[in-house]
Every structure is written in C-alpha cells, then in structure tokens.
C-alpha cells in the first residue's frame, strides 16, 4: 500500500530544518486526507464532529467522544441523527485488545404481529410501515449510548450530553444542505403539527440558510436524560408523551415496551482478508456477515493486479454481491429469534463454492441465483461516524431513523423524531420493502424482535491494532460501500481520501441491475454490457466516514466522503 509519509523530505518546523524526516502527505496522491497527531473524528456533520474532537482534546477517549457525537447529531442532523431511532456500534479497547459489538437496534412492540402491515387483500401496505404510528419500533439510541459509556467510557454521562443540550437550546445555523433537506421532506414534516412547529417557521415557511433553528423541546428532553439517565427517556413524562403520540397515530408502543428496552453486547463477526483482520457487526445486521462473505470470495482473485474499477474487477465484485444479497433474503434476521448460519456464510469453504459459480466471462442472471443450501433496505438517511484516540481506542457507529426524518412523527413537547424502522421487517416475505430489498421468514415481524439491517460499522486490524475504521449510510448500498473502501485501501493502495472518493458500483441481486456512479468509463461499461450486465447509472452511493492510523508513527489520516455536504473530519 502507498502510505502517506514514506518519502524522505526536508520538513521545516518552527523555522528549523529537520533532514530525512518523512513527509506527512504523499506528493504522488491526487487527493489528500486530513492529518492529525492525537485523535480524529469523521462524521457526516461538522458541528457534531467538532463536539467529538473537543471531547478528545479534553482527555476523553473514543467512546466518550462517540456518545457525545451521537447525541449531538440528534440536534445537528435531524434527518438521520437521533434519539428516536437505533443502530450499531463497534468498539475496540486498546488496553485489553477487546473488540465488541453494541446492538441498540429498535425492537418491535409487544403488540406487533406478522401481518400487521398487510391490507384487506393481504398486500403489503407501505403507508402503514413507513408513515403511521405503527411504523415506529421502540427506540434504542439512548440505551445504547449509556451502555457504551458505562462499559468503555471515562467521562460522566452529563458531561458528554452537555454539548447536545447547548446546541438544541441555543440553536444551530441552518446550512444549505439542511435547508434543502427540510424543504424536500416538507410533506412528511407537515403531516404532524408538532413536527411542523419545530422544522417549519410560522405560516409554514421553510428555513433558509443562515437562519437559526432552535429545538427547545429537544433540549428539555436531553436535559431530562442528562439528569435521570435512560430513565429520563424510557420512563416518566418523555416516555408518556412518546407513547401517547405513537398510539394516537395508530402505533403500538406501550409504556411497558419503553421501560423494557435493552441494548445488548454481541460478539462481532470476524474475517481475514489478505493479512488483515476485518471486524464488523453481527446479526441483526446483515452488514458484517455479507461484507466478510464478499471479501472471502474476492480474495481468490488478484483484484489489485486486475486494476481499480476495471471491467473484470467490477464483474467479479458484482457476481459476488449477487450471491451475498440472495443469501441475505433467506437467512438473515434477529439471532434472538432465528438461527442465522453466520459461520457457514463467512467460511472460506463457502467462498470457494461461490467462486465456482462465478464465470469470468458472463454475468449470471439473478433469476438463476438462489440462496445457498446451507446447514443450520434501509433508507439512505442513515448516518455514520468513526473515531480514534491517541491510545488506539476506536469507535465505528452507524445509526438511523430510516427515512429522512423517520416517520415524520414528533411526540408533542419532546422534540424527538420517531423512527419508521418497522419497514425493515419483511411485511410480506418475498415482497421487496420500500428500498427494493427482499426478505424472508427469518425477518418477519414478531413482538420483541429487532428488524434486519444493512448497517456495517467496521474496523480493519493489523497485528491486533486498529488500522482502519469505516462505515457509511446508504441503505442496501452500505455493505458494498464499505466493501469498496476496504478494497481501495488494501488492494489498490489508495490513501483514505482516495479510497473514499473513488466511483462506486452496487448489485443487490434484485432488481437484476448493476448500479454505477458517474466516473465509470464508457469503455468499462461496454465491457460489462458485453458480459451480460444490465448497467444502470444511479445517484451517488453512500457517505463513508473513514480514519486510517499510521501504526508506525501513531498519527491519523481521515476523510469524509465528498458525496454529502457538511460532512467533516477533524483532529487535534
């Protein structure tokens, strides 16, 4: 790999010439990452990233910063950052070498049942699963952040939540991206009066760039959580208001559901790719399983020698992706309810069998790709952040409320946007959800169950130390976005900024189309079409937030994906 800093140069520091010291940035690189000496935060919104950076600078560790960033994003990135949703976190503790997964995914209410989103004719009704009160699962973010801090943090709960309270109470300056997002989601925001009062001005006018958005109700809710811990959210007045609003909108969440929510620690899924250990999220996320499954299959090919985004490289990636997404439809679900064959899917033996089914010359039609015979689409508006501190601790966190601004429902007086994650269940097995993903019985709706996800918070380790931390929003395309960041760094020798910026491709089995971003050459497209691929140019995919550590110097290189405005990587 070409690592910035390997070329000898003369560096001037404080007007003193220091000979034969390595440069920080490689002059051969077209795109340069952010550099920092002591720690780094990469997030989809700058104010929240700076909150995390300030926590690190005050002596907090990566988990302290991660909790602070997650809570701040609930204020500064309301379309995806949240306390009314849920997600997944991977934590690496450098002192012990321990790496764990924290599952704080939403849960189906106790009154949920398999057929709750079917209409009178037995057809899946996305209106119910996306925009009604029934769309909301029991939120997990508050419980997940407290579990992370209790297990791995070093600062007080009130200390890490204070920046989010301040941002909500004092207001944030509306950026062009936030103004556009609010306007694009106007119909959803107008659906519920309590929501419109927060995110639209009086008389329904939209916020313009440069204006200040104050979220006073959210500030009071965050203060209650600061004062009372998770009980300030899952019990008492805030919980009562959430339950009343959800039930008034046709939902099922009860006070017992709120009080009974628990985040859980899980063992990550692990794989090895060309001498690196890959650690990612286990079920109920499908992300880690299929990331490792695809990497295992591709390890049998000389991907680096074939060239970045060459016709053959893309062909092989697409064929491996198809099989993984077919398997996803059959086998993946909440491991507390179904037996997920993780070991089989992530084995090197299964990868060899996948390669046996891949022709180097022809694309296999999706109709001929079936889930393997094994033994016993989230929205784009997820968000991800990555953090590393000077001691080598690391956090990779992806969380969401599903669609832009979730279901659009704010419980009056709380400022909390509720998720519509119930749509991530299979409303009717075999029928695609709102984002084109097909699910089966393993992901059918069931009380107390966590819906399947594609979120893929991931770390790559060398010799037991974290080398790369990455993840992305992007719904069904999260897995393939993370995959390509890793391939770009490991196989193609890109620095972290180049790896994050390069054009991406995606195939999810159904529909049978190879999605490509702008930047894939016409010659390559013709080669892919000659192999039988249906090539479909699409909008940009993902928004990777990635940090790479130079394990020799201990310094950090990071990049925020330029595909989304307002993202920032900051260090100190």
Q: What letters, b where the CB count within 10 A reaches 16 and e where it falls short, cover 183-215? A: eebeebbeebebbbebbbeeeeeebeeeeebeb
For 362, other C-beta atoms within 10 Å of its C-beta total 13
- Strand 535-537 and strand 514-516: the pairing is parallel
**Range of weakest confidence among 29-43, 217-231, 369-383:** 369-383
pLDDT tops 50 at residue 224: yes
> Does residue 17 register a pLDDT over 70?
no
Task: Tell the residue number behind the tokens 């669609």, with chain if given.
Answer: 403
Across the chain, mean pLDDT equals: 93
Q: What is the pLDDT of residue 428?
A: 78
* 555 flagged as catalytic: no
Detail the DSSP E strand segments found in 62-128.
86-93, 98-104
pTM of the model: 0.94
**What percentage of the chain has pLDDT greater than the value 70?**
93
Of the given ranges (82-96, 110-124, 423-437), which has the lowest mean pLDDT? 423-437
> What does the pLDDT read at residue 524?
98
137 phi/psi in degrees, rounded to 5: -85, 170
Domain 39-286+332-341+376-504+540-544 fold: 3.60.20
Name the catalytic one among 195, 382, 398, 470. Answer: 382
pLDDT at residue 2, as a whole number: 31
CA distances, 364 to each of 22, 83, 531 (Å): 48, 43, 9
Strand-pair partners of 87: 104, 399
Q: Alpha-carbon distance 421 to 408, whole Å?
A: 12
Say if residue 434's pLDDT is above 60.
Answer: no
Are 485 and 396 a contacting pair, CB within 8 Å?
no
pLDDT, average across residues 342-358:
97
**From CA 90, how far away is CA 399, in angstroms rounded?**
12
Rounded distance between C-alpha atoms, residue 160 and residue 150, angstroms: 12
How many CB atoms are closer than 10 A to CB 173?
Answer: 12
pLDDT at 373: 67
Residue 437: what pLDDT? Answer: 58
What pLDDT digit, counting tens, does each position of 490-512 carry? 999 999 999 999 999 999 999 99
pLDDT of residue 374: 60
Q: Which pLDDT band holds residue 380 (cuts at 50, 70, 90)?
A: low
CA 16 to chain centre: 44
pLDDT tens profile 89-99:
999 999 999 99
pLDDT over 70 at 534, yes or no:
yes
pLDDT above 60 (res 435): no
Tokens 């391939």 — which residue?
487
pLDDT band at 126 (very low <50, low <70, confident <90, very high): confident
| Paired strand residues for 410 | 417
CA distance 345 to 489: 24
The gap from C-alpha 448 to its chain's centroid, in whole angstroms, comes to: 23
- Taken in order 351, 354, 360, 366, is the CA torsion positive or negative? negative
pLDDT digits (tens, 9 = 90+) for 231-272: 999 999 999 999 999 999 999 999 999 999 999 999 999 999
Sign of dihedral through CA atoms 79, 84, 86, 92?
positive
State both tokens at 93: 């503790």
What's the pLDDT at 21?
A: 46
Q: What is the pLDDT of residue 7?
A: 23
Query: Any idea where the domains of the chain sit in the sequence?
Result: 39-286+332-341+376-504+540-544
Mean pLDDT of 299-328: 97
Q: For 368, which DSSP code?
A: G
pLDDT at residue 10 tops 80: no
Among 419, 450, 446, 414, CA closest to 244? 414
Which tens digits make up the pLDDT trace of 196-209?
999 999 889 999 99
What is the model's pLDDT at position 441? 83
Percent of the chain with pLDDT over 90: 88
Residues listed for the chain: 572
| Confidence category of residue 379, pLDDT binned at 50, 70, 90 | low
Cβ atoms of residues 61 and 204 within 8 Å: no
**Number of Cα atoms under 13 Å in the Cβ half of residue 527:** 15
C-alpha to C-alpha distance for 1 and 274, rounded to whole angstroms: 12
3-state SS, residue 273: strand
- Cβ pair 246, 409 in contact under 8 A: yes
The owner of tokens 């996306």 is 130
| Structure-block tokens of residue 67 | 């909790």
- Burial pattern 393-432, b for ≥16 Cβ within 10 A else e, equals bbbbbbbbbbbbbbbbbbbbbbbbbbbbbbbbbbbbbeeb
What digits encode the pLDDT tens for the residues 270-279? 999 999 999 9
Beta strands in 436-528 (DSSP E): 458-462, 465-470, 505-506, 514-516
């Amino acid at each position: 790999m070409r690592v910035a800093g390997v070329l000898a140069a003369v560096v001037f520091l404080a007007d003193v010439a220091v000979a034969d010291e390595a440069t920080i940035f490689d002059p051969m690189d077209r795109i340069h990452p952010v550099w920092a000496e002591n720690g780094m935060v990469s997030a989809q919104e700058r104010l929240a990233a700076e909150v995390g950076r300030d926590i690190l600078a005050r002596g907090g560790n990566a988990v302290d910063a991660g909790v602070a960033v997650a809570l701040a994003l609930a204020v500064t990135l309301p379309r995806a950052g949240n306390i009314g949703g849920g997600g997944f976190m991977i934590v690496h503790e450098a002192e012990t070498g321990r790496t764990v997964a924290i599952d704080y995914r939403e849960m189906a209410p106790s009154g949920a049942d398999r057929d709750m989103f079917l209409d009178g004719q037995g057809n899946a009704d996305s209106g119910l699963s996306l925009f009604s009160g029934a769309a909301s699962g029991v939120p997990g973010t508050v419980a997940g952040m407290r579990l992370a801090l209790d297990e791995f943090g070093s600062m007080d709960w009130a200390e890490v939540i204070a920046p989010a309270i301040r941002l909500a109470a004092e207001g944030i300056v509306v950026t062009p991206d936030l103004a556009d997002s609010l306007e694009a989601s106007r119909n959803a925001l107008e659906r519920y009066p309590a929501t419109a009062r927060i995110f639209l001005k009086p008389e329904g006018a939209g916020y313009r760039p440069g204006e200040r958005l104050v979220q006073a109700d959210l500030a009071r809710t965050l203060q209650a959580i600061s004062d009372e811990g998770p009980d300030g959210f899952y019990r008492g007045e805030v919980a009562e208001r959430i339950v009343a609003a959800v039930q008034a909108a046709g939902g099922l969440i009860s006070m017992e559901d709120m009080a009974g929510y628990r985040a859980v620690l899980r063992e990550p899924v692990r794989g090895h790719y060309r001498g690196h250990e890959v650690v990612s999220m286990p079920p109920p996320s499908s992300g880690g399983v299929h990331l490792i499954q695809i990497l295992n299959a591709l390890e049998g090919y000389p991907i680096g020698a074939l060239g970045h985004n060459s016709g053959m490289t893309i062909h092989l990636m697409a064929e491996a992706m198809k099989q993984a997404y077919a398997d996803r439809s059959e086998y993946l679900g909440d491991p507390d309810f179904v037996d997920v064959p993780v070991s089989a899917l992530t084995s090197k033996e299964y990868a060899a069998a996948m390669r046996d089914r891949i022709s180097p010359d022809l694309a296999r039609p999706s109709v001929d790709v079936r889930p393997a015979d094994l033994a016993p689409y989230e929205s784009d508006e997820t968000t991800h952040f990555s953090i590393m501190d000077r001691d080598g601790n690391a956090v990779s966190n992806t969380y969401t409320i599903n669609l832009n601004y979730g279901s659009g429902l704010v419980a009056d007086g709380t400022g909390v946007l509720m998720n519509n994650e119930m749509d991530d269940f299979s409303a009717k097995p075999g029928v695609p959800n709102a984002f084109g993903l097909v699910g089966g019985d393993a992901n059918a709706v069931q009380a107390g169950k966590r819906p399947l996800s594609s979120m893929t918070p991931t770390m790559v380790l060398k010799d037991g130390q974290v080398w790369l931390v990455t993840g992305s929003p992007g719904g069904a395309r999260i897995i393939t976005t993370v995959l390509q960041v890793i391939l770009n760094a490991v196989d193609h020798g890109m620095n972290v900024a180049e790896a994050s910026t390069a054009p991406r491709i995606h195939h999810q089995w159904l529909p049978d189309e190879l999605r490509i971003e702008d930047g894939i050459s016409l010659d390559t497209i013709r080669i892919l079409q000659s192999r039988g691929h249906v090539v479909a140019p699409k909008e940009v995919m993902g928004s990777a937030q990635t940090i790479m550590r130079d394990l020799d110097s201990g310094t950090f290189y990071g990049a925020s994906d330029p595909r989304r405005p307002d993202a920032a990587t900051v260090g100190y």
